[in-house]
């Protein structure tokens, strides 16, 4: 009988990574992500990596650097700038771009508001306003593949997302018309004007991301680690005071020891109380956490039961 793998009788095989010809789960995830980057480099004309300065996009860039070493990354970066950024993150972004000699595109929400194309929302949240600048930039620059750091463990609509996700000329996602993904044979065919969103971190979890960052010694913006910061309470989250609209009457600013689990628009990204000031402590904290990162820190996902799905359908990540 020809079989493709060793046959055990069940229950006695060793699951340890010490076995010959096995890979640790981090090595397996890394290898898969690198394969995805190289497929895109081989099949598309004008790919771009969405880069927010958050840990997932930093991880994507790190993987892309390894995938093409010793040659440079054959992709440019795109930052959708809400105008409500953490200064540490912008600083990190600019240093990274300079260090690796990358090309950075910026799609600015503030520009759209200044030109009167988009209107500021009453709640000050700019996350939903990112979709138009993003999709118009994709069309203007004729990007045909757009890498996003989305992970399927983040949110249940994202659990349905493909690694290669076709978007129509309006950047829309139709979850009922997705291509089946078979083996590792990704289908990147698209018509002019359409593009493909590519998610090389699809199979990573938050904990995988942190373990890999620790293993590879990747630098992150300091706001991911515990620090003292002036915050106020809104909607069950600690938000940072800033020009974007807060604190309002009745919201009291206090100085607390906090860190961030995700980095997005300041208006809707909450900090968590934490004393984890090193990566080891962060990993211990996440492994013990009983909250998902989005549940803990993202106001935009709480707008409705299908908030993420609805935004994704329109072209958001």
Partner 1 sequence: MSTITSEALAETTLLRFATAGSVDDGKSTLVGRLLHDSKSVLTDQLEAVERVSVSRGQEAPDLALLTDGLRAEREQGITIDVAYRYFATPRRRFILADTPGHVQYTRNMVTGASTAELTVILVDARNGVVEQTRRHAAIAALLRVPHVVLAVNKMDLVGYREPVFARIAEEFTAYATELGVPEVTAIPISALVGDNVVEPSAHMDWYGGPTVLEHLETVPVSHDLAHCHARLPVQYVIRPQSAEHPDYRGYAGQIAAGTFRTGDEVTVLPSGRTTTITGIDLLGTPVEAAWTPQSVTLLLADDIDISRGDLLVPSKDAPATTQDVEATVCHVADQPLTVGHRVLLKHGTRTVKAIVKDIPARLTLDDLSLHPHPGQLVANDIGRVKIRTAEPLPADSYANSRRTGSFILIDPNDGTTLTAGMSGESFAAPEPVKGADEEDGWDF
Question: At closest approach, how far in Å is the CB of 228 from partner 1?
Answer: 25
Q: Select from 96, 171, 202, 262 the one that contacts partner 1 (CB under 8 A).
A: 202
Distance of alpha carbon 156 from its chain centroid, rounded? Answer: 15
Q: Is the CB of 56 or the CB of 153 nearer to partner 1? A: 153
Q: Is the CB of 34 or the CB of 90 nearer to partner 1? A: 34
Alpha-carbon distance 307 to 64, whole Å? 30
Alpha-carbon distance 69 to 9, whole Å? 42
Alpha-carbon distance 97 to 100, whole Å? 6
Cα torsion 289, 292, 298, 299: sign: negative
Residue whose pair of structure tokens reads 């996440």 in the numeric block: 286
Residue 253 is a binding residue for partner 1 (CB under 8 A): no
User: According to CB under 8 A, which residues from 140 to 179 bind partner 1?
Assistant: 152-153, 155-160, 166, 175-176, 178-179
Residue 66 is a binding residue for partner 1 (CB under 8 A): yes
Angle at 74 between CA 70 and CA 214, to 5 degrees: 60
Residue 106 is a binding residue for partner 1 (CB under 8 A): no
Question: At closest approach, how far in Å is the CB of 309 from partner 1?
Answer: 6
Q: Which helix (H) or strand (E) holds 154?
A: none
Residue 8 is a binding residue for partner 1 (CB under 8 A): yes
Residue 314 is a binding residue for partner 1 (CB under 8 A): no
Q: Is the CB of 12 or the CB of 249 nearer to partner 1? A: 12
Q: Is the CB of 126 or the CB of 259 nearer to partner 1? A: 259
Q: Is the CB of 172 or the CB of 284 nearer to partner 1? A: 284
3-state helix/strand/coil string of 169-187: CCCCCCHHHCCCCECCECC
């Amino acid at each position: 009988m020809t079989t493709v793998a060793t046959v055990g009788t069940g229950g006695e095989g060793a699951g340890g990574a010490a076995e010959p010809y096995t890979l640790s789960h981090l090595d397996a995830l890394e290898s898969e992500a690198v394969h995805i980057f190289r497929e895109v480099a081989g099949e598309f004309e004008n790919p771009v990596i969405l880069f927010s300065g958050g840990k997932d996009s930093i991880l994507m860039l790190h993987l892309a650097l390894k995938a093409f070493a010793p040659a440079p990354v054959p992709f440019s970066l795109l930052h959708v700038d809400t105008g409500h950024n953490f200064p540490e993150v912008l600083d990190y972004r600019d240093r990274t771009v300079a260090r690796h000699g990358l090309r950075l595109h910026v799609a600015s929400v503030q520009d759209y508001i200044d030109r009167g194309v988009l209107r500021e929302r009453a709640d000050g949240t700019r996350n939903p306003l990112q979709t138009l600048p993003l999709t118009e930039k994709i069309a203007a620059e004729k990007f045909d593949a757009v890498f996003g750091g989305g992970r399927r463990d983040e949110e249940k609509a994202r659990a349905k997302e493909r690694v290669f996700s076709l978007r129509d000329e309006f950047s829309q996602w139709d979850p009922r018309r997705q291509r089946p993904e078979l083996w590792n044979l990704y289908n990147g065919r698209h018509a002019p004007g359409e593009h493909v969103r590519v998610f090389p971190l699809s199979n990573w979890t938050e904990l995988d991301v942190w373990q890999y960052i620790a293993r590879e010694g990747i630098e992150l913006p300091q706001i991911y680690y515990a620090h003292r910061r002036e915050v106020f309470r809104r909607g069950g989250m600690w938000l940072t005071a800033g020009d974007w609209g807060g604190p309002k009457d009745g919201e009291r600013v206090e100085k607390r020891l906090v860190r961030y689990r995700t980095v997005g628009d300041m208006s809707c990204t909450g900090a968590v109380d934490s004393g984890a000031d090193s990566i080891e402590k962060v990993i211990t904290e996440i492994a013990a956490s009983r909250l998902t990162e989005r549940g803990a820190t993202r106001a935009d996902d709480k707008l409705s039961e299908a908030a993420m799905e609805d935004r994704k359908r329109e072209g958001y990540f």
